[in-house]
Amino acid sequence: MIELKNVTRRFGNTVAVDNLNLTIETGEVCVLVGSSGCGKSTTLRMINRLLPHSAGEILVDGEDVNAMNAEQLRLNMGYVIQGTGLFPHWTVARNIAMVPHLLKWPKERIDARVEELMTLLDLDPATHASKYPQQLSGGQAQRVGVARALAADPNILLMDEPFGALDAITRDNLQMEMLRIQRQVRKTTVFVTHDIDEALKLATRIAVMDQGRIIQHDTPENILRHPASDFVENLVGKQDRGLKLMSLRPVRDLMSAHAEPRQSEAGEGAITEGDSVRLALSVMLWKDLGEIAVFNARGQETGVITRERIIQEGA
Ligand SMILES: Nc1ncnc2c1ncn2[C@@H]1O[C@H](COP(=O)(O)OP(=O)(O)OP(=O)(O)O)[C@@H](O)[C@H]1O
């Protein structure tokens, strides 16, 4: 658990973070969102003491970060930044191995861990382990950055606009990867973005910031349904809220399940139980269907979802 209590950070006369209170529970993904200069990165960098705070208290699992050894603190916090920060003259494998190496793990353990992480992040070790960062695409380099942050299995992951510089498709892929990895490893994560759609997709809770303060701290659904102010309402997009809520809702919530799963051909692009209601509606509109079959992860048809039900209850 991470707790920020009345935390302030000043740069000269600028108050970058203003008496901020925030609790991030163990295993949750807290996304800090807000416009440029509102204090998101400063907040993140105070947690791992890359920046000292001017006032207040920051606690990790109940212990004041100022009372901890800064290096030890950082070794237990993976840190991912935009543009990766990979060492250009080190191979991918060596970059990923950086923290285990500092921790003096035996070589076999490091090699096994590098291979495990590359596989987890969908990077073929045989193809990529000996490459240098400039030989990778932006998306691959960002995956290496995430692998490096996870290498020594830290309890906490700090991510500062990690996907901000990527094209929309690569960003979407990495967001999906992150959700998958998070289901497997469940790190306490603080994620900074200015993209509200990214926040809605990834967060267990979102902290909306403005001028160094938290305006609202709540689940994606509550932020959409009950924005605390005009500022939050504008940020989430007043007119777009219905569709955004549909993006949060899985098909399994609104489908009519068959009594028994049926063996039928799922086919490419089939709708699965975990897909969003918004995707199911989009496919039905495109194919001009009133209903569409829903499949489980094993490719069995488990039910149907209808356009009518989505229109009635989708948001
Ligand atoms: N090293 C610094 N020296 C002086 N002022 C700074 C410094 N770092 C940040 N600031 C100021 O503190 C405020 C908050 O900056 P911060 O980088 O935390 O915002 P942000 O929300 O992360 O913005 P962005 O999305 O653009 O990265 C801004 O007014 C910024 O100009």
Task: Give, in order, the Cα–Cα distances in Å from 99 to each of 76, 95, 309.
Answer: 10, 9, 51
pLDDT recorded at residue 58: 96
Ligand 1 centre from 7 Cα, in Å? 15
Question: What pTM does this model have?
Answer: 0.85
Q: Percentage of residues in the chain with pLDDT exceeding 90?
A: 60
The per-residue pLDDT of the chain, averaged, comes to 90
In order of their start, the domains of the chain are 2-238 (3.40.50.300), 248-314 (3.90.1280.20)
pLDDT recorded at residue 80: 87
pLDDT recorded at residue 44: 96
Residues 3-52 have pLDDT tens digits of 999 999 999 999 999 999 999 999 999 999 998 899 999 999 999 999 99
- Best residue among 42, 161, 163, 209 to mutate for probing ligand 1's pocket (most ligand atoms within 8 Å of CB) is 42
pLDDT recorded at residue 138: 83
Instruction: Average the pLDDT over 159-180 and give the result.
Output: 83
pLDDT recorded at residue 279: 92
Ligand 1 centre from 42 Cα, in Å? 6
Single-letter amino acid code for the residue at 225: R
Residue 119 has pLDDT above 90, yes or no: no
Ligand 1 centre from 89 Cα, in Å? 30
